[in-house]
């Protein structure tokens, strides 16, 4: 067994109530199934546990990163030193506030939240059913699909600051735009969000969710590990169409490839490394640029070791 690092010893002693895993493979927590070991991975169950972790990190000068469901992240092969705070299924819980508003905690998946809303006869989250990330990850990057986006339903967001305090931001405070929120530029962790929805018959909501899920299954390579759309939508075009027109469907680097089914997805054919995916994304971006003059930028968050 590997000797415990100073951080691993200190955090276990300081926060005995918080679930901590040392040298946990990031590949177990990312939809790409890629990534080396995290020095410390913590799973806070409550906002208080999350605040305690942040205060510990501040006092000990430990760098940390937040992981939701890991469906938009490429984690490095070398793994990560420091602390990874994993929120999926940890900061859990949903409640109906009044009438057409619900509060959802950050670790709940978007699909679970959409199903919960449907059960209350509240529409507006149909687009989110099938996005495999958490509500925290979805708010962080204003996730969207089929014409819907978080910004359309978000009333407010509780954001934990590095000192453990919580600020409530209104939707306009969040500075949402295409796959962006203010949290990309400043520290802050989504603890929960209030969504304002619209009363709608449950069977209509469920029919719409089924229709959108069938569209996903028909067009996306859901049978292979990926992190969703690899590139942002460029101004004046669609990434998948440009990649397809450049003849890159099936283009492969090591175990990583451009999906044959949907050119916008980079997939792990088996045994792909982060280095394979990075090289694939770079080469695709260069080839599309040479072909069209349009530069594709990654939508996937590329975590550095
Ligand atoms: C098959 C497939 C289909 C997809 N389809 C879509 C789609 O239709 N539309 C779409 O928008 N996306 C789609 N995605 C991408 C992904 O699901 C979304 O981006 C999702 O919002 C990411 O959430 P996550 O919890 O997995 O975040 P992660 O991948 O874990 O993290 C992404 C970023 O968010 C940050 N983050 C996560 N949680 C928090 C938090 N609580 N507070 C602050 N920061 C946080 C992380 O630090 C990281 O920088 C798809 C992915 C896959 C694999």
Residue 152 lies in a domain: yes
Q: What is the CATH number of the domain that holds 58?
A: 3.30.43.10
State yes or no: pLDDT of 98 exceeds 70. Answer: yes
Can you give the pTM of this predicted structure?
A: 0.96
Q: Return mean pLDDT, the chain.
A: 96
Q: What is the DSSP letter of 75?
A: -
Contact 147, 122 (CB under 8 A): no
Ligand 1 binding pocket mutation candidate from 31, 137, 147 (most atoms within 8 A of CB):
137
Ligand 1 within 6 A of 54 CB? no
Query: Per the domain annotation, does 216 fall within a domain?
Result: no
Domain-located, residue 1 = no
Residue 20's contacts (CB-CB under 8 Å, 6 or more residues apart) are 8, 11, 12, 40, 41, 42, 43
Q: pLDDT at residue 1 above 60?
A: no
Please state the domain count of the chain.
3
Q: Over the stretch 260-281, which tens digit does the pLDDT of each residue have?
A: 999 999 999 999 999 999 999 9
Residue 234 domain flag: yes
Last residue of a domain, one of 33, 59, 86: 86
CATH code of residue 155? 3.30.465.10
Q: Which of 186, 208, 230 is the last residue of a domain?
A: 208
Q: Does residue 220 carry a pLDDT above 60?
A: yes
Q: Give the C-alpha separation, 182 to 59, whole Å.
A: 25
Looking at the domain assignment, is residue 58 inside a domain?
yes
- CATH code at position 233: 3.90.78.10
For residues 186 and 154, membership in a common domain is answered with yes
CA distances from 177 to 32, 182, 194, 258 (A): 26, 9, 18, 27
- Do the domain assignments include residue 244? yes
Tell me whether residue 214 is in a domain.
no
To test the ligand 1 pocket, which listed residue (32, 68, 219) has its Cβ within 8 A of the most ligand atoms? Answer: 68
Strands (E), 197-264: 198-199, 226-229, 252-253, 256-258
Range of the domain at 174: 94-208
Overall average pLDDT of the 32-61 stretch:
97
Of the three residues 41, 66, 86, the one that is the final residue of a domain is 86
- Residues labelled as active-site residues: 179, 229, 299
Whether 204 and 133 map to the same domain: the answer is yes
153 φ, ψ to 5°?
A: -115, -10
């Amino acid at each position: 067994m590997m000797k415990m690092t100073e951080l691993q010893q200190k955090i276990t002693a300081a926060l005995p109530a918080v679930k901590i895993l040392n040298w946990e493979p990031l590949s177990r927590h990312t939809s790409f199934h890629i990534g080396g070991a995290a020095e410390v991975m913590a799973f806070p169950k409550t906002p208080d546990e999350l605040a305690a972790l942040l205060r510990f990190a501040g006092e000990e000068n430990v760098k940390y990163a937040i992981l939701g469901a890991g469906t938009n992240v490429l984690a490095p092969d070398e793994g990560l030193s420091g602390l990874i705070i994993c929120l999926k299924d940890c900061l859990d819980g949903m409640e109906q506030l009044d009438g057409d508003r619900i509060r959802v905690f950050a670790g709940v998946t978007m699909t679970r939240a959409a199903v919960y809303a449907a059960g209350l006869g509240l529409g507006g989250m149909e687009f989110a059913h099938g996005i495999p990330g958490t509500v925290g990850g979805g708010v962080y990057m204003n996730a969207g699909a089929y014409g819907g986006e978080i910004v359309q339903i978000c009333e407010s967001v509780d954001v934990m600051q590095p000192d453990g305090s919580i600020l409530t931001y209104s939707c306009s405070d969040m500075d949402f735009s295409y796959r962006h929120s203010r949290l990309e530029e400043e520290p802050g962790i989504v603890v929960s969000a209030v969504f304002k929805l619209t009363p709608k018959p449950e069977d209509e909501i469920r029919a719409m969710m089924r229709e959108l899920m069938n569209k996903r299954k028909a067009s996306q390579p859901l049978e292979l590990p990926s992190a969703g759309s690899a590139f942002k939508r460029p101004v004046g075009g669609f990434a998948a169409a440009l990649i397809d027109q450049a003849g890159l469907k099936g283009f492969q680097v090591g175990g990583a490839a451009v999906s044959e089914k949907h050119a916008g997805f980079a997939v792990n054919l088996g045994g792909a490394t982060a280095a394979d995916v990075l090289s694939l994304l770079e080469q695709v971006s260069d080839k599309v640029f040479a072909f069209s003059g349009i530069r594709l930028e990654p939508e996937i968050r590329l975590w550095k070791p």
